Amino acid sequence: MKHLLSALLLSVTSLSIAEQPGIVKTEFIFDPAPHPQCHSSTIVETPTGLVAAWFGGTKEGNPDVGIWLSRHLEGAWTPPVEVANGAETEDPRVNCLNPVLFQVPKGPLLLFYKTGKWWAYKKESKDGGATWSRPERLYNGLFGPVKNKPVILADGSILSPTSVEIPSPQGPSWRVHFERSVNGGKSWEYIGPVNDGHEIQAIQPSILFHPGNKLQALGRTQQGRLFEIWSEDGGLSWGKMSLMALPNNNSGTDAVTLKDGRHLLVYNHTGNREGSTKGARSPLNLSLSMDGKLWEATLVLENEPNREFSYPAIIQTADGLVHITYTWRREFIKHVVVDPAKLTCKPIVKGAWPQ
């Protein structure tokens, strides 16, 4: 009965979503769900098709929570399978969280994830996610991407956006740093941290590309607004972090630079509640920018009050379409396909989403 009810709710909520310019398709990646709860999805394009992953189990933080994965084959998502869990690496078993998929060009598909003690692990697949290696732990202060995807730079190196959450007498220190690989992900160089973790408490960055070897990173904070920080040298060094005009209730975001140079940002455009980590994560929005500074409203993906629609992931595939996945009420992972050529924009004035 539960999956029938969810299908009915999806058909109702998708009606208004599908009417917005640019929406191509909306669907659940799985239904019925193989677990009571799920969260924190990631999506990637591989030579054999799309692959998505997330963590799922009885409840976030419980030992039975593992990393689940589905592949998009012949026009449909395969039944989810658990591809990593805490019993592989720790005894007694602990939970897993925050998977990130990354396809190395002409190389393996990588799966990064964390376990309950915030230890970072990596697995590899040579067949598009069908089978996986044993987990390999990351050492020497490396964490891998904590939520959002790494990017390929102009020189062929990989830049991974990451962050840490460290307790301190002054309060939690949320600091952003980056990890760079010049050998296809075999080893990594630590860059940062790029903020002190107190003036702006920031985590979970995404990376955008700009002309002249410039990069922009942006993500969530405890200050009620998104942060941004810029690099003039392809990510080797970074300027001063600042707060953007866009509000956010301390919930995960993701962003991507399109092939035509425009930028898309998916996030909860709500709140302005400093320090807030609780409450509903709705609505879920998509904004567009030409320069990474001025953002305009494009889509409202979800807008049901007092519900959670959160932790989005966004990519553009080789065919030019944009794929977004996100947590739907902690019950399902939803997949939305967007044609960026058909998006329309409205100004965001003083941080207010247009009606």
Closest CA to 206 of 191, 219, 193: 219
How far apart, in whole angstroms, are the C-alpha atoms of residue 67 and residue 82?
6
Span 146-195, pLDDT tens digits: 999 999 999 999 999 999 999 878 778 999 999 999 999 999 999 999 99
Span 6-27, pLDDT tens digits: 444 444 444 477 789 999 999 9
Domains of the chain: 2-347 (2.120.10.10)
Size of the chain in residues: 355
Q: What is the largest CA-CA distance in the chain?
A: 55
- 3-class state of residue 170 by DSSP: coil
pLDDT at residue 279, as a whole number: 55
How far apart, in whole angstroms, are the C-alpha atoms of residue 47 and residue 128?
7
pLDDT at residue 276, as a whole number: 41
pLDDT at residue 107, as a whole number: 96
Residue 310: how many other CB atoms lie within 10 Å: 24
Q: Which residues of the chain have pLDDT under 50?
A: 1-2, 4-15, 273-278
pLDDT at residue 4, as a whole number: 46
Q: How far is CA 230 from CA 213, 249, 289, in A?
A: 11, 23, 15
Q: Kindly write down the DSSP assignment for every residue of 105-120, as one continuous string.
A: TTS-EEEEEEETT--E
Q: What is the SS3 assignment for the chain?
A: CHHHHHHHHHHHHHHHHHCCCCEEEEEECCCCCCCCEEEEEEEEEECCEEEEEEEEECCCCCCCCEEEEEEEECCEECCCEEEECHHHCCCCCCCEEEEEEEECCCCCEEEEEEECCCCEEEEEECCCCCCCCCCEECCCCCCCCCCCCCEECCCCCEEEEEEEEECCCCCCEEEEEEEEECCCCCCCEEECCCCCCCCCCEEEEEEEEECCCEEEEEEEECCCEEEEEEECCCCCCCCCCEEEEEECCCCCCEEEECCCCCEEEEECCCCCCCCCCCCCECCEEEEEECCCCCEEEEEEEECCCCCEEEEEEEEECCCCCEEEEEEECCCEEEEEEECHHHCCCEECECCECCC
pLDDT at residue 274, as a whole number: 43
User: What's this model's pTM, rounded to 2 decimal places?
Assistant: 0.94
| Residue 248 and residue 224 in contact, taking contact as beta carbons nearer than 8 Å | yes
